[in-house]
């Protein structure tokens, strides 16, 4: 035989409003301390990712140079690392796996500058703010 007990609701049943407010206050304090730290790490991670991607792009441009005997022109830009230029039989690409490799972590295309005279080529990202200069996460990253 199963005996069913009747639930009795009393003043001590469940949590009081005061207990709920205390728990919410503790959670808010933890979020206030930990939140800015996590956001700071996220920003640093994007800058570090952009720096690694720029180095990978520079290596791909150098492979393009080894294969074709020339650097990409300004008109071709970095997209020549993905698609064969018209009439270029020495191209052995693609040199990058996907088109997303040509976009920085903030969603903008990397900027390419072909070599002028004896200078080397340049690849850069304008950082988080997308403007020249800046510091911290807004700083330009370049090869």
For the chain, what percentages of helix, strand and coil (3-state, to nearest 5) are there?
A: 45, 10, 50
Measured distance CA(19)–CA(41) in Å, rounded: 33
C-alpha separations of 11 from 4, 7, 8, 24 in Å? 22, 13, 10, 21
Measured distance CA(123)–CA(68) in Å, rounded: 19
Task: List, for residues 74-104, the tens digit of each pLDDT value.
Answer: 888 899 999 888 888 888 879 898 889 899 9
Architecture of domain 17-142: 2-Layer Sandwich (3.30)
Contact 46, 129 (CB under 8 A): no
State mean pLDDT over 16-33. 87
Measured distance CA(137)–CA(41) in Å, rounded: 11
Domain locations along the chain: 17-142
The answer, as to whether pTM is greater than 0.95, is: no
């Amino acid at each position: 035989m199963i005996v069913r007990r009747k639930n009795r609701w009393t003043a001590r049943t469940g949590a009081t409003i005061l207990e709920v407010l205390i728990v919410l206050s503790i959670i808010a304090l933890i979020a206030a301390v930990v939140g800015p730290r996590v956001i700071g790490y996220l920003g640093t991670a994007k800058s570090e990712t952009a720096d690694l991607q720029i180095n990978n792009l520079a290596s791909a441009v150098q492979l393009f140079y080894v294969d074709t005997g020339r650097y990409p022109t300004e008109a071709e830009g970095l997209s020549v690392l993905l698609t064969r230029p018209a009439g270029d039989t020495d191209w052995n690409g693609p040199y990058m796996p996907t088109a997303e490799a040509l976009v920085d972590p903030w969603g903008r295309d990397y900027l390419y500058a072909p070599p002028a005279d004896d200078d080397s080529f340049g690849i850069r990202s304008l950082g988080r703010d997308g403007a020249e200069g800046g510091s911290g996460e807004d700083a330009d990253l370049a090869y």
